[in-house]
């Protein structure tokens, strides 16, 4: 079963959201905001009402967040978290809809936020100025705007696994569970390789894979949306190499994609392409099997035949 918390929109998805919003609302007036969920709005000063009647001057990405700037240097910052999604139409949504968290009326249409489930993780902040925006930033560097040297320095700030470092918003901005899997598969590196043990050749390969993966998927999502508002935002896409493809063939070598499950999350990888054929211990099953845990795909196949 696919876990809901792997669905959080990441850099390519948020970038396409931002671009779609920019073409629709910049220069338009925010007439009013309707917040239906008491859990959504996380700030009180400035008040949300202060943004009413002001023209939109910018829309930008802030990590995995979407920031809408209005006159007076006020910003509405939306974090979709796991199950939040944005929608746009020239007519108003049904404000009584169960999943509706908030709706924003502009001169030319309506933007609204829905969230599946009952965990209420999506958030809205109203902040003032660049300082207010930066107070909501986790501090990670933008992976598409940095040199190899800056990428290397960020990667080596601490000795973490590659999977953890790539998806840590304090290190890299906008990369999460889905695209870190894709980056590591492209770079042919293990998700549990330790950052401070990588060779410069491996770091360069990872850097190039990061740029290529994020740029490629941003372009693909733009093409999918064409001029329509992006509605099918998901971390599980048919063209992905390993993410969400457990048990399916790797597009490079044909071996079955493997997974590591931890807490309520999952890492997907190809053993021949990324770990020299070695299976990485899944916490749940390795605790059950102990020393009988299979180390290779051949051992796993033999175990399944028993």
| 260: CATH | 1.10.8.50
Which pLDDT band holds residue 7 (cuts at 50, 70, 90)? low
Are 126 and 208 in the same domain? no
Are 11 and 113 in the same domain? yes
Is pLDDT of 232 > 80? no
Taking only the tens place, the pLDDT of each residue in 89-128 is: 999 999 988 899 999 999 999 999 999 887 889 999 999 9
- Residue 40 and residue 123 in contact, taking contact as beta carbons nearer than 8 Å: yes
Taking only the tens place, the pLDDT of each residue in 240-283 is: 999 999 999 999 999 999 999 876 678 999 999 999 999 998 75
Which pLDDT band holds residue 22 (cuts at 50, 70, 90)? very high
Number of structural domains in the chain: 2
Are 295 and 157 in the same domain? yes
% residues pLDDT > 90 (the chain): 78
Are 12 and 54 in the same domain? yes
Q: How far is Cα 60 from Cα 68, in angstroms, rounded to an integer?
A: 7
pLDDT for res 295: 55
Q: How far is Cα 251 from Cα 238, in angstroms, rounded to an integer?
A: 12
Are 130 and 162 in the same domain? no
% residues pLDDT > 70 (the chain): 88
Out of 82, 107, 134, pick the residue that ends a domain: 134
Taking only the tens place, the pLDDT of each residue in 205-226 is: 999 999 999 999 999 999 988 8
Question: Is 223 among the domain residues?
Answer: yes
Q: How far is Cα 24 from Cα 229, in angstroms, rounded to an integer?
A: 9
Is pLDDT of 79 > 60? yes
pLDDT for res 150: 97
Question: Is 141 among the domain residues?
Answer: no
Residue tagged 């293990």 (tokens): 190
Average pLDDT, the chain: 89
Are 285 and 152 in the same domain? yes
Q: For the chain, how many residues are written?
A: 306
Peptide bond into 46 cis (omega under 30): yes
Taking only the tens place, the pLDDT of each residue in 32-70 is: 999 998 899 999 999 999 999 999 999 999 999 999 999
Question: Is 114 among the domain residues?
Answer: yes
Question: Is 205 among the domain residues?
Answer: yes
pTM: 0.89
Are 176 and 125 in the same domain? no
Is pLDDT of 136 > 80? yes
Question: Is 305 among the domain residues?
Answer: no
Is pLDDT of 76 > 70? yes
Are 160 and 286 in the same domain? yes
Residue 20 domain boundaries: 4-134
> Rounded mean pLDDT of 123-147?
97
Q: How far is Cα 274 from Cα 139, in angstroms, rounded to an integer?
A: 29
Residue tagged 């209005």 (tokens): 70
Is pLDDT of 233 > 80? no
Out of 68, 101, 134, pick the residue that ends a domain: 134
Out of 90, 106, 134, pick the residue that ends a domain: 134
Question: Is 130 among the domain residues?
Answer: yes
pLDDT for res 225: 84
- Residue 51 and residue 33 in contact, taking contact as beta carbons nearer than 8 Å: yes
Question: Is 164 among the domain residues?
Answer: yes
pLDDT for res 119: 81
CA–CA distance from 225 to each of 104, 143, 291 (Å)? Answer: 22, 23, 49
Question: Is 139 among the domain residues?
Answer: no
**Domain CATH number, residue 108:** 3.20.190.10
- Give the distance, in angstroms, between the CA of residue 199 and the centroid of all CA atoms in the same chain: 27
For Cα atoms 9, 13, 14, give the angle at the middle one, nearest 5 degrees. 80
- Residue 37 and residue 119 in contact, taking contact as beta carbons nearer than 8 Å: no
pLDDT for res 32: 96
Residues 6 or more apart whose CB falls under 8 angstroms from that of 224 comprise: 230, 232
Are 19 and 94 in the same domain? yes
Q: Which long-range contacts (CB under 8 A, 24 or more apart) does 271-279 make?
A: 271/296, 271/297, 272/297, 273/185, 273/188, 274/184, 274/185, 274/188, 274/189, 274/190, 274/191, 275/190
Are 121 and 169 in the same domain? no
């Amino acid at each position: 079963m696919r876990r809901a918390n792997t669905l959080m929109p990441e850099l390519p998805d948020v970038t396409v959201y931002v671009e779609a919003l920019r073409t629709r609302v910049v220069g338009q007036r925010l007439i009013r905001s309707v917040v239906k969920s008491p859990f959504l709005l996380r700030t009180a000063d400035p008040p949300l009402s202060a943004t009413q009647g002001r023209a939109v001057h910018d829309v930008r990405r802030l990590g995995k967040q979407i920031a809408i700037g209005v006159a007076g240097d006020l910003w509405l910052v939306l974090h979709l978290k796991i199950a939040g999604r944005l929608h746009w139409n020239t007519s108003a949504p049904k404000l009584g809809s169960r999943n509706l968290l908030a709706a924003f009326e502009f001169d030319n249409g309506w933007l609204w936020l829905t969230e599946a489930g009952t965990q209420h993780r999506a958030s809205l902040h109203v902040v003032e100025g660049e300082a207010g925006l930066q107070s909501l930033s986790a501090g990670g560097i933008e992976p598409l705007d940095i040199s190899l040297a800056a990428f290397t320095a960020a990667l080596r700030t601490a000795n973490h696994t590659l999977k953890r470092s790539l998806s840590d918003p304090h290190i890299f901005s906008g990369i999460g569970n889905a695209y870190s899997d894709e980056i590591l598969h492209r770079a042919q590196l293990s998700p549990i390789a330790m950052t401070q043990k990588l060779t410069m050749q491996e770091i360069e390969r990872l850097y190039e894979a990061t740029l290529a993966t994020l740029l490629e998927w941003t372009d693909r999502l733009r093409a999918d949306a064409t001029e329509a508002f992006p509605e099918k935002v998901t971390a599980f896409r048919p063209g992905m190499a390993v993410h969400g493809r457990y048990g399916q063939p790797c597009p490079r070598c044909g071996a079955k994609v493997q997974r590591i499950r931890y807490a309520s999350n999952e890492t997907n990888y190809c053993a021949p392409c990324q770990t020299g054929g070695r299976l990485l211990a899944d916490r749940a099953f390795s605790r059950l099997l102990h020393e009988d845990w299979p180390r290779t795909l051949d051992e796993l196949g033999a175990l399944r035949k028993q």
